[in-house]
Chain A
């Protein structure tokens, strides 16, 4: 509980420049409960950070669209697969 409050207060005292780092880090590693709660409270009154968070979410959503497009691309064509296997055999022979 003490850690939760300490982390939350620390986040609330931070300048926005540091909040945006935490918004980004949230996508790569979980924040502590206090940090996450502090950010949620902060965006209630900070329009700049709220919009930054929305932009990051939008970027993630577009990223998923790109990933879906990559899935639609057909897999490795048979003739390329053959050429690759031949090249691998050739490289192994060289060594």
Chain B
């Protein structure tokens, strides 16, 4: 700590948080983000996923602490999606920006909370970013709000751009850290399983069948994830890093069914480019503006400082909560979500439930009666869903006239193509278990 003096700390603080910087990168981000979200929401509807994921299921899996989130009605969910479309347009145009960002954040997050089996890191990222946008002045320039409220402003505090860079950086670096495990590094798993499946692709198909390719991809992936953020913030490497971003994400888009995520990342990363490069675009559209003097105070409110600090600390620590569990993370998935673990394992499972009446009589559950194929697939490898489902079964069978039904599960899971193994202790009545943060004792340890 000898090299650090208060002077340097002050300088660092100013640089990262309180210096006044041009607003343009944030404005570009606002516009691109809104366009991508607009496409995503429409694509979601066009793919029939509103019906498939929200209306068809008779039962929804929930996140811990969010069991109260109600399932939507048919009219309700369409109102939600239409409102999201309007909110996207508002954000893009910079029209009633604050209301639109707030609306988008709430509605988008609501659609994620309806059913936890739909969880994707990508959706979590969008929730976080839209949360941040509520507090960022991205409508102070190149926005209709400027005409309505005369709120044009060309300079903002550095943190108002850096918070997004930070969030993008967390995504990459934590995704890289998550890859630092022996299966990924030494066995090239799961890529060794996934890549050969792409043998039908032109040009690179043949290449995908070699295990060396899987190693190459695995290791490049780690290095990319761990380093790209730093190459993006460093001016001299930025353009090359961005090129790598584009190639990397297009490649993943080509090889895996990961939807809009690659494009969200490709466009989000433009925020790393300098104010100058962004400003040029606006000058071309609006003509060269006379320089506007910063009108903003440099000082940031204490309250804002504390909010930023707590957000940053939460983002940095939450993904490490898995350390509180001693069992194999990939097997139990305790502390797995919300931690940027993307494309890390190949997992498949099959779960068969037996409900036992107090008289000792048995029935084997037809999962299709209660779950969609997609929900069934997600449930059969994730212990919290298994418990939620078992409790629901207990209620459903009580209604069918069972007396004190007990629920047992034969669950087999294969991790990284390693052969199916029993996942849940089939002697434990799961209807008595609860889905909590406590370690789940009914999971059989990974052998």
Q: Do A and B bind each other?
A: no
- Chain B residues with a Cβ under 8 A of chain A: none
- Chain A residues with a Cβ under 8 A of chain B: none
